[in-house]
Amino acid sequence: MEFKTAGRMNALPFSGIRAVMEKANAMQAAGENIVHLEIGRPDFDTPEKIKKSAEESLKAGHVFYTSNYGTPALRAAIAEWENEHNGANYEAANVMVTIGVSEATWCAMDAYLEEGDEVLVPNPVWLNYIHVPTALGAKPVTYSLKEENDFQIDFEELESKITDRTKMIVVVDPSNPTGGVFSRATMERLAEICVKHDLIAISDEIYEQLLYDGEKHTSLATLPGMAERTIKLGGFSKAYSMTGWRIGYLCAPKDIISAVVRVHQYTVTCASSFVQDASVTALKECAEDVEIMRQEYQKRKDYLVKELNSIEGISTNHPTGAFYIFVNIKSLGKTSMEMAEYLLENAKIALVPGSAFGSEGEGYLRISYATSMEQLQEACARIRKAIADLRAGK
């Protein structure tokens, strides 16, 4: 007996990167030596203090449901961290703890989007921002982030996409997949547009602590007129290497919190009790651990940018955030999917075709440098040879 899935499921495709991933895993299982550059998760262990804190929490019997909003201690610690690091002005009541930014995205969109509402979304982007509004019956309308514009926003294009159905804008800064960081001037102009058109802004700042070359982060909610309309999404997965702990948060005005908590309470109830305790430790005691990881990413990025730019036929700009490099392969005459397949088959390198992140990603490959320097060195040597062979028509 086959049951008919809900019609809206038809709008939810499997990820476009699945074909390459599955092939890479099958090749690895068959004994091939694959270098993985596709994974968007840190290669470091979670800092010891955080693990210890979770153990202590369990031993102390913190094994029950918490408030839907999150524990008072974690909400207060998040508000304090935001105020200190971003110059925000939050109280604990402005915070809701979630099962990662993924769940925060769903709650925020489900609480505000009606059928037919339009949401401005970057192109390219982490694909949840296309598929979540689509699943909710809303319409993602993309705005371009182009390399020739240093992956900043083209405001003329952005404003031309605003209609009387536009309710929300998504901003991901630093960006997955480009590794770009919006300048202060970009953020200020963006804030003016949000205010002028009365938009709700979803500001995904999950990579905000992973900045390089002295780059500075501007938190959208802190700009004039933005605190009242911004849902800031923050996380622990990337900076603290806690992807498997499933913890994140959103910060917003209290009326927005009371709307999103209704979605949250009927989906997940609350985040795990002991993970919330450990997250307080992350915020209060682990700045040094984050800095050690950040410095390692900085070294890897410097190495990769130099090495990749020395390979004839490909190039990259100078990304200053997250742990991704968006490599321009336009001169090679293959689509990004063809190129990803070519590198997998010929160089045993797994990476993500840029087209998986939206149409503006065509012509690029996303490399994650959340992997060891040795692996990156091996990868560069293999990519250099494979591209030289391709250009030589071998």
Ligand X SMILES: Cc1ncc(COP(=O)(O)O)c(C=O)c1O
Binding site for ligand X (CB under 6 A): 40, 100-102, 126, 172, 176, 204, 206, 235, 237, 243, 248
Measured distance CA(318)–CA(213) in Å, rounded:
10
CA angle 51, 55, 56 (to 5 degrees): 115
Minimum distance from CB of 285 to ligand X (Å)?
A: 20
Closer residue to ligand X in complex, CB, 102/315: 102
Closer residue to ligand X in complex, CB, 286/390: 286
Closer residue to ligand X in complex, CB, 237/279: 237
Minimum distance from CB of 352 to ligand X (Å)?
A: 11
Closer residue to ligand X in complex, CB, 208/296: 208
Closer residue to ligand X in complex, CB, 235/363: 235
Measured distance CA(260)–CA(96) in Å, rounded:
8
Minimum distance from CB of 69 to ligand X (Å)?
A: 18
Minimum distance from CB of 234 to ligand X (Å)?
A: 9
Closer residue to ligand X in complex, CB, 113/242: 242
Measured distance CA(271)–CA(248) in Å, rounded:
9
DSSP string, 145-189: B-GGGTT-B-HHHHHHT--TTEEEEEEESS-TTT-----HHHHHH
Nearest position to ligand X, beta carbon: 100
Count the residues in the chain.
394
In this structure, what are the phi and psi dihedrals at residue 288, rounded to the nearest 5 degrees?
Answer: -65, -40
Closer residue to ligand X in complex, CB, 42/314: 42
Minimum distance from CB of 311 to ligand X (Å)?
A: 26
Which tokens hold the place of 360?
């503006």
Q: Shortest CA distance to 35 belongs to which of 296, 376, 303?
A: 376
Measured distance CA(201)–CA(1) in Å, rounded:
44
Measured distance CA(350)–CA(342) in Å, rounded:
10
Query: Strand pairing of 248-251 and 95-98?
Result: antiparallel
In this structure, what DSSP letter does residue 171 have?
E
Minimum distance from CB of 101 to ligand X (Å)?
A: 4
Measured distance CA(25)–CA(22) in Å, rounded:
5
DSSP string, 105-150: HHHHHHHHPPTT-EEEEEES--THHHHHHHHTT-EEEEEEB-GGGT
Minimum distance from CB of 36 to ligand X (Å)?
A: 15
Closer residue to ligand X in complex, CB, 111/132: 132
Minimum distance from CB of 103 to ligand X (Å)?
A: 7
Query: Strand pairing of 200-204 and 230-235?
Result: parallel
